[in-house]
Chains A and B, each alone.
Chain A
Amino acid sequence: MKKQRIALLGAALATAVALAACGSGGGSTAGAPAAADANAVVQVGSLYEPQNLDNTGGGGQGVTEAFNGNVYEGLYRLTDDGKVEPLLATGNTVSADGLTYTFTLRDGVTFHSGKALTSEDVKYSIEKVLAPDSKSARKSSFPEIKQITTPDPKTVTVTLATRSISFVYNLSYVWIVNDQAGSIAAKEDGTGPYQLDTWKRGSTLTLKKFADYWGTPATNGGVVFHYFTDGSALDNALLTNAVDVVTSEQNPDALPQFADNPAYKVNDGKSTTKLLLAFNDRVAPFNNTQVRKAISSAIDNKKLLQSIWGDHGTLIGSMVPPTDPWYTDLTGVNPHNVDTAKSLLAQAGYPKGFSFTLDTPNYDPHPTVATFVKSELAKVGITVNINVITSDQWYTKVYQNKDFQATLQEHVNDRDVVWYGDPDFYWGYDNPQVTDWVKQAEQAPTEAQQTELLKKVNQQIAQDAASDWLYLYPQIVVASTKVSGYPVNGLNSQFFAYGIKKG
């Protein structure tokens, strides 16, 4: 058909605004046990093709999915319940002032190119994330690092300018790369159980087993990631056995055909992706807490979630998903109640409502959600003008120039409640108390104290209705029963393939 040009831009572009993350996993896996063939190649279907192969070079969600834990490894890795465990480091010590970390490296680790892992590689890799030209989404999460030294090939010490309780956690996002590798935008040199075979852009990315892997070898013969731009095409590929597993199913209405078929298993995992109606808290009327609370009460999030996701997904009531350590159920803080919304509006001085423009990214589910929001707010007298913009425009207009009234956006990362402590963030929530708590939490001596403070933050932003947290996405992995051992949570969009068994 001429002139019809379609791409699921959501898939390609969501990555541009999503915090590229790496993450948890390993622990929780699923699938019926099968008589495994150690040489079988696992065919993985995904909507998220890497933009390039460098997670400090704008590789996006796709490269995290394909490479994290599979091709590259960090000093630490996150387990499926969000805990940090040593990987390429065997352990660390922290100085009494909490500023100097000393890491000991694992023995016998070699890169795919054959070179042995040394402390210089670790220094190089950390500096790569912090470099001026780094496009790593995690760059701003790191504290200021005073210096990195390598007293011997097996030891790395890092000295921080301020205490940082999340430092080790953040290190799990740092790929350890061979310091001789050069640009890794189109090739790789990691230490993981797989190495890159070929990447055919727009089509497939093939990983083969790395023979000299230091740890337990992968339980399969290799992995091929097949990339799709259309969700239905991906479902069809699974139905015709062209792929064995779909990393993230985005269409709830396609699920019955798998759920009703004994040859497939539908896994409901845990997600960290939140859909936000983000107000610009700097500008009237959204600088008024009562207005924000009124809107949060006016919108029936439950009906919205049900409309978009059927019986899947979770209501959260704040920025923190249940997998973060500081989660508390806050869905009751701004419950759906049209009368409450109306009286809050009256108190705020808008008894007849007002009108505002909602900047809506042009890929699903945002336009549909915007329509729902418009219809809900009409009931309390608020008129919503939907302004559809591309992901690129969103980034410039909303994120960089903060030139907006309200917007819709998905935020994919775990532990990202801390953004509410930054008054310069795009949504402009400015509560000195919250900023202070976030800062204290980062410098807290113990995790218990950090958790306590971030719980307070969470409570406060919910009280202030800093944004309206519409819902938490579901994370649905659909797979053929021929495969087992695949990660079902895929928190932060990673997909550890080394434990997958194929019968």
Chain B
Amino acid sequence: MARVWLSLLLLVMLPVSSTWAGQSPVKPQIRVGLMPIFVDDQAAFINSWHDYLERHLGRPVTFVQRGSYREIVDMLRDGKLDFAWLCGYPYVRNKAYLRLVAVPLYKGKPLYRSYLIVPSSDKQTKSLKEMRGKIFAFSDPDSNSGYLYPEYLLTTEGEKSFTFFDRTFYTWSHRKVIEAVAIGLAQGGAVDGYIWDTLAQSHPELTSQTRILLKSPELGFPPIVASVAARNEAVTAMQQMLLGMARDQDGSRLLKELNLDGFVRGDRHLYDEIDRMSQFVEKSRMNVLQKH
């Protein structure tokens, strides 16, 4: 049985150098970078994705995998990558370098929530305030649901996570936040609600060991973005392919495995709330710095 990994899927396209392209009649090669995803048979799923992309984009595809959002964002900003499926938080912070390609539809909407979870054995805790002095797990410092939202909540209370909690750590994956909370390594964690819900269907024995303490308001779903370096032709091809996925059989199957309904063109204003939270937290940090 394959392991299930939490994840953000990153699609990365890297245009092949002009010399190579010039000598070949085929379209430029596409390198697709991925992060671990949460389906059971990850390798098979990635192969399916890979085949699907090559078939529909009509060009060679290569995947690149990295362990944190920051590395992906850095590669995007450096122009080493053309496309990425990125969290809303790094997207709003790097809006200047990124173009919105498509937004996944989850339960018919391009929206999701952040969940704050505690171990199911913890029956007392009712609010984030009661978590003071505890051990808390974040997924990634660049994750909206896995870091920004709880940080924002604490900031509105005049707190900072690194002082409010006794100890915090990153698991670099949403699924591992759930695991850490389930086994009691952390007494609380912030996790992508879409991933928690999806795992609750496929692995209820894992999610049942956690209890949702609170849910965030609906926020913009992590979008597919293109770097400014991406060619318009490639961006269009990618956009067309994604928007059409729900309409063909293979695409539907892949979307079903991801527990998504499809992709929409999306609107950058979807992420205004994340932007606001980000700026609020940022400003608060600046204030602290200025005080010192």
The answer to whether A and B assemble together is: no
Interface residues of A, Cβ cutoff 8 Å to B: none
